[in-house]
Amino acid sequence: MSKNTHDSDDILKRLFEPQPVKVKESLLELFEQRLLSLEIRKTTALKIMGMGTRTLDGILSGEQKLLDYTQLIKLSNFLGIELDEVAKLYLEKLKETYPLSKNINQTSEIVDFLNEKFNLAELRKVGIIKSLTDYDEIINSVTKYFGLKDILDYREPQLNVVFSAGKKAKKNCSLENWMFLAEQMCIELRNPNDYNRDKLIDYFPLIRSYSMDVLNGLVNVIKHLYQLGITVVFVPSFPSLHIRGATFVVNDKPCIALTDYRGFYPTLWFGLIHELYHVLFDWDEIFSSNYHISLENQEQLDSTSQNELEADEFARKYLFSLEKTKEIGSLINNQEIVREFATVNHVDPSFIYVFYAYDAPKNNKRAWGRARKLNPTKQTEALKRKLQHNFKGNHSFDDHIKYLRNTIYN
């Protein structure tokens, strides 16, 4: 049998065995959706099923410990869902409502696992956990944020990935955690669209102009790229990481993870265009490689760092070239002229200030101070709230995925 035949068999196998989706609707959500689709009230549904309110509420909330199995049959028929799936969702809710004794979690094995796989000090710093010693709280908070049913379900990801990272980035458990979140988000958003390089090339000239809309432009581009088979997610960065983004593979399709570690609006777009360069020109390498990290300012100019330099040059030229920065440089203090020049070049004015500061001699505090002052910080924060699962907050990973599915990736 030829090598091509083996390759074809492998591709077919992966095509028909996509990554499993874990974030599913609960019985309560499915029931409420069923009421909406049928345009009936709960009382009518109860009559149809021949079921009491207390029994139904107990099943949907997971508080009904003792149950006549025929009640699940009635609910299954009403929802139009297989009985096995209804029973599975009921048991999952039951376990969530009545967890096993917390003391089971406090074993030396669990403690060692947590300390090995997670930077607990950093998790506390960003607000995911509140304590370094209360392992019940740590387990509950980590499983909630990372979308784990059990803390031991966490596995360091094996990604085909190209990283665009600052020079301070290094491989550690925070990096692994960030990678895990990025991959899981793309798995759970399961993009049904086929990736087509030619369609991406056709769309590319339109991307830059969306940067002029700080609140919605990036969101709209992410929606469009999703329709082109490219899933772009936004993952908040841990303080010890200086990662701009990553490009990797899920279900044989390109996925891009973006983050914000500098706080400037233009760097979000720079990161996106940089990663799209990898999708356009390095996809075969990414698809076949097991693990690849690219760092900025690498001392050794190998092929990897050369790819990074080329991606940076591409993003810079596409968004706002060095030549354009020089052209407007003498008028940088005239905000009105800068605004007009930005409009003509289809970017937000903050791009001009950030790139001017970047091109200025190192440690030019005045240039960076201007860029910081004229950065649309409040609007950028509002934009990030639409996309990222904040470290601090009450929403679970499942809640965040469902929100994204309903608002962006549909």
Q: Are 308 and 247 in contact (CB under 8 A)?
A: no
User: Is the pLDDT reported for residue 13 higher than 80?
Assistant: no
Tell me how many helices (H) and strands (E) the chain has. Answer: 21, 5
Q: How far apart are CA 338 and CA 355, in angstroms?
A: 13
> Is residue 323 exposed (0-12), middle (13-18) or buried (19+ Cβ within 10 Å)?
exposed
Segment 141-166, tens digit of pLDDT: 999 999 999 898 999 876 455 566 55
List of residues 6+ apart from 83 with CB closer than 8 A: 72, 73, 76
Q: Which of 131, 153, 151 is nearest to 140 (CA)?
A: 151
CB atoms within 10 A of CB 92: 15
The two tokens of residue 170 are 């290094």
236-275: pLDDT as tens digits: 999 888 788 899 999 999 999 999 978 999 999 999 999 9
Supply the DSSP string of 50-116, one letter for each residue. T--HHHHHHHHHT---S--HHHHHHHHHHHT--HHHHHHHHHHHHHHHSPPPGGGG-SHHHHHHHHH
Closest listed residue to residue 19, CA positions, set 251, 310, 306: 251
CATH of region 27-97:
1.10.260
Longest dimension (CA), the chain: 79
The tokens describing 31, both together, are: 């029931």
Neighbours of 407 (CB within 10 A): 12
DSSP letter (8 states) at residue 363: T
pLDDT band at 109 (very low <50, low <70, confident <90, very high): confident
pTM of the shown model:
0.77
Per-residue pLDDT at 16 exceeds 80: no
Give dist(CA 336, CA 390) in Å, integer.
Answer: 35
Reference 289, options 116, 110, 156, 160; nearest CA is 160
- The ranges of the chain annotated as CATH 1.10.260 are 27-97
Q: What is the pLDDT of residues 315-373, one digit of tens each?
A: 999 999 999 999 999 999 999 999 999 999 999 999 999 999 999 987 789 999 999 99
Name, in order, each residue with C-beta under 8 angstroms of 16's C-beta and a sequence gap of 6 or more: none
Three-state SS at 196:
coil
Q: Of 335, 369, 340, nearest to 354 (Cα)?
A: 369
> What is the tens place of the pLDDT at every residue in 34-59?
898 888 999 999 999 999 898 899 89
- At 178-204, the pLDDT tens digits run 999 999 999 999 999 999 999 999 999
